[in-house]
Structure 1
Amino acid sequence: MNNWVKGCLLAGTVLLTACGGEQAANTTAEKKSGDDAQAEAKEVVVYSARKEHLIKPLFDAYTEQTGVKITYITDKAGPLLVRLKSEGASTPADILLTTDVGFLWKAQQEGVLAPLQSEVLSANVPAHLRDKSGYWYGLTQRARTLVYNSDNIQPAQMSTYEALAEPAFKGKLCLRTSKKVYNQSLVASLIVNDGMDKTREVVGGWVNNLAVAPFANDTAAMKAVLAGQCDVTVVNTYYYGRLESKGEQGALKIFWPNQAEDQRGVHMNISGAGLTQHAKHPKHAQALLEWLSSTQAQQLLAGLNLEFPVNPAVSPVDQVVAWGSFKADDVALDDVAAKQREAVQIMDAAGYR
């Protein structure tokens, strides 16, 4: 655990403000919802695909600050969605917290989320990082970028996600499996930005350029790059950060693709949440989501996993800042999520397993 996180956790709520900046005046416990919340039990139940060590420090601080008890269940997003559907109106869950916009979109399509209109969330979360109708809101951003072996390839040889399909990368590319949602969302973003035909061409080129069969996770793909099995891969930056925190990154470096003036920028995904359709504590759930988007909570929430805050008023932690600045794709993520099915079809047709 890095020193910044240790400092935040040791000081609890007091230093939470110092780590995240001054609390925004319009976060949590607004008077207009406070009276309604008093009629509910001071409790929120969260179904979370985000792991316990990434949420418990926030929930503990919130409980200490407000007195609201937070009960949470952690599991993978798929099983949590199945559980919500099977429980129906009897579910105890007030909030569904997931790790990819694709899961949030699917939960919305399955009818387990309810629209939530919040001036606080709308102010703290940029429009492209939330659902247009309020079914879900991003809480952290994760950049999916290139990581390369600096002993074998130079930055000048790389440019875009699309360029990884070119013959120059034959036998030099490693990828995570297509069965995981992160690459499905990346391909969905290609469809939105480049169209179906170009995306088919790109994904087919990626498959042709693979040095070895796709890996089960981003860390394994990076380790293959480090071992010289391939020269470059595509990962979420926090996986690189974890290696870096342990001093295991070796010759691996981050490259930000698609940075030219006429290019899209780096693909950004979210970890986000929505109010469940049958929430028993909707006002307290809304207040918690608003607080998680506030300047008080954002740096700790993002920093614990080396992600990027969604609130523009909050900067990433120092380790993340050190990776350098970049242009991020600001395409609406609900548009990206809506292309998930087409993305999977393209990947399957290309033989990307």
Structure 2
Amino acid sequence: MKLRLAALATACTVALTPFAAAASGEVNIYSYRQEFLLKPLLDAFTDETGIETNVVFAKKGLAERLDREGRNSPADVVMTVDISRISELVERDLTAPVDNETLEENIPENLRHPDGKWFALTTRGRMIFTSRDRVEEGEITTYEELADPEWEGRICTRSGKHPYNIALFSSMIAHHGEEQAEEWLQGLKNNLARKPQGGDRDQIRAVTEGVCDVAIGNSYYYGVMLQDEEQRPIAEQVRIVFPNDEGRGTHVNISGIALTNSAPNRENAIELMEFLSSDEAQQIYAEANSEFPANPEVSPTGIVAEWGELNADTLSLQEIADNADKAVRMVDRVDYDN
């Protein structure tokens, strides 16, 4: 079946619907990103190049599927929603290096794999959210302060083992060393108002409900809430804080893209990757998803621009990925989720 931008797969059915491989003028995409987020981009790409796009959407299981399909996989590229999933593809040797001048010019070095095995397309900050009523502006401004005793019983987070938090903890290891990062994580755990649970939006809701005064969450989710009629009143009760803004910068995660080893439409796939890094596509992508462009030449727009300029941590995302196993073990040692 060929359904342009159709949801051909879910987490349960991801392996059931094949592409027709190596069709002329096409590019086949496996994506963790939802259809409505990609549609404006892929429509623009087809309008500009005439290359049609075929997409499989899934919540999980794409690495396993690529592994199973091997060299016979019809997928040309994989689009992911965080550094952990794209790193998994590299670790399984499922991605091919891309040596491309356009991509290297458009995407900063810290937001791409050293050998071109993945490239960021957008970034989202791991933000601190505070109650507008119970926390003064400027009262907390860094990740390090989350471990201060004054916040005991006042912080909410999702599971410490969620990839978004593992990436943040990995960055703390990179900046402070494992021993000091673990002391910090123990302090953060001591300050939790409740057992880690739910998603990022649930943490923001918990602040508005008075369960806690401070929460950790992605900027992307805050933007989504502000643009939703029912969720906006909840989001408006919290203040977004760009942690470490006056120092090393705010930790960011990425959405990214990687060329597969099998890629039957390699040239079309690289053309898509180039397009997605361009000024035009970066503007569309970031605005549609309430994210920050990965291309530094493109300014945020809409609601994201209203938050102010992001001073992003320039730490290599690959270094964060390399610290992930250490971060997971650290979460276990402090028994964070219990």
The gaps in structure 2 that reach 5 residues or longer are: 1-21
Percentage of matched positions with identical amino acids: 38
Other structure's SS at 1:191 match = helix
In 1, Cα distance between equivalents of 2:200 and 2:262: 35
Give the counterpart of 2:33 among 44, 50, 54: 50
Deviation at 1:177, TM superposition (A): 1.1
In 2, Cα distance between equivalents of 1:122 and 1:108: 19
Deviations 1:301-326 (A, max 9, x none): 11111000011121111211111224
Q: Indicate the residue corresponding to 1:340 in structure 2.
A: 324
The answer as to whether partners of 2:161 and 2:331 remain within 8 angstroms in 1 is: no
Q: Indicate the residue corresponding to 1:271 in structure 2.
A: 255
Task: Show the 5 A alignment for 1:101-112.
Answer: 101-112=83-94
Give the counterpart of 1:162 among 131, 140, 144: 144
Q: Indicate the residue corresponding to 1:288 in structure 2.
A: 272
Deviation at 1:265, TM superposition (A): 1.1
In 2, Cα distance between equivalents of 1:318 and 1:59: 21
Deviation at 1:155, TM superposition (A): 2.4
Other structure's SS at 2:312 match = coil
Q: Does 1:244 align with 2:230?
A: no
Q: Indicate the residue corresponding to 1:258 in structure 2.
A: 244
Other structure's SS at 2:156 match = coil
Question: Which residue identity is paired with 1:225?
Answer: V
Deviation at 1:40, TM superposition (A): 7.0
Deviations 1:66-97 (A, max 9, x none): 11111001112x41111111111111110011
Question: Which residue identity is paired with 1:56?
Answer: K
CA RMSD of aligned residues (A): 1.3
Q: Does 1:64 align with 2:50?
A: no
The answer as to whether partners of 1:295 and 1:311 remain within 8 angstroms in 2 is: yes
* Count of residue pairs the alignment pairs up: 312
Stretches of 4+ moved more than 3 A in 1?
Answer: none
Larger helix percent: 1
Question: Which residue identity is paired with 1:110?
Answer: R
The answer as to whether partners of 1:222 and 1:233 remain within 8 angstroms in 2 is: yes
Q: Indicate the residue corresponding to 1:141 in structure 2.
A: 123
In 1, Cα distance between equivalents of 2:248 and 2:175: 7
Task: Show the 5 A alignment for 1:1-353.
Answer: 41-76=24-59, 78-246=60-228, 247-248=232-233, 249-260=235-246, 263-353=247-337
In 1, Cα distance between equivalents of 2:317 and 2:95: 17
In 1, Cα distance between equivalents of 2:131 and 2:183: 26
The gaps in structure 1 that reach 5 residues or longer are: 1-38
Deviations 1:235-282 (A, max 9, x none): 11121112222332232110111133xx32100111001100111111
In 2, Cα distance between equivalents of 1:92 and 1:350: 43
The answer as to whether partners of 2:84 and 2:163 remain within 8 angstroms in 1 is: yes
Deviations 1:191-212 (A, max 9, x none): 1111101110111111111101
The answer as to whether partners of 1:48 and 1:96 remain within 8 angstroms in 2 is: yes
Question: Which residue identity is paired with 1:167?
Answer: P
Question: Which residue identity is paired with 2:57?
Answer: T
The answer as to whether partners of 1:142 and 1:270 remain within 8 angstroms in 2 is: yes
Question: Which residue identity is paired with 1:293?
Answer: S
Other structure's SS at 2:161 match = coil
Q: What is the TM-score of this pair, normalised by structure 1?
A: 0.86
Other structure's SS at 2:167 match = helix
